[in-house]
């Protein structure tokens, strides 16, 4: 099943870039142009991941993220913050608001798909070895 990605971006050029970049990866794309629309679309469509611009009309991406994190359905949904106005301390604020990652604009077209892939398809955790394998050499003295 295709993963759904919600793109929250008010700049038409950035939206087009994200659509081309992620559409080529086979994701189902949902779009919102402000924080209020992001909340509405997210609760209705239940995306697997959200790309959230921070500077948005009506409601900032930061506030939209805070509100989404208060809803049980979105407590673990990956949210990637993107912003052109990165100031010292912003990354900490974004992560504290509930964003899982932060990428500055202009969007790095190599890095963003990698970050999305890592969040949607995390590598499997270390699996335990065969039964009885405690990591110590076998005792061959019997």
Q: What are phi and psi of 55, to 5 degrees?
A: -85, 95
Q: Tell me, what's the pLDDT at 127?
A: 54
pLDDT, the chain, mean: 88
Model pTM score: 0.84
Q: Which run of H or of E encompasses 35? A: helix 35-45
Which region among 7-21, 67-81, 85-99, 126-140 has the lowest average model confidence (pLDDT)? 126-140
Signed CA dihedral, 102, 104, 110, 112: sign only: positive
Which domains can be identified in the chain, with CATH numbers?
A: 4-120 (3.40.50.2300)
Nearest CA-CA partner of 108 in 61, 26, 51, 33: 51
């Amino acid at each position: 099943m295709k993963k759904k990605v919600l793109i929250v971006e008010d700049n038409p050029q950035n939206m087009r870039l994200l659509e081309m970049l992620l559409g080529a990866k086979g994701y189902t794309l949902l779009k919102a142009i402000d924080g209020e629309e992001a909340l509405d679309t997210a609760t209705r469509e239940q995306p697997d991941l959200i790309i959230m611009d921070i500077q948005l009309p009506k409601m900032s991406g930061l506030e939209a993220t805070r509100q989404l994190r208060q809803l049980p359905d979105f407590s673990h949904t990956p949210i990637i913050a993107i912003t052109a106005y990165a100031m010292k301390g912003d990354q900490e604020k974004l992560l504290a608001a509930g964003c899982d990652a932060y990428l500055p604009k202009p969007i790095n077209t190599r890095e963003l798909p990698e970050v999305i892939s890592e969040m949607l398809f995390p590598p499997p955790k270390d699996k335990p070895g065969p039964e009885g394998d405690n990591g110590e050499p076998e005792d061959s003295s019997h």
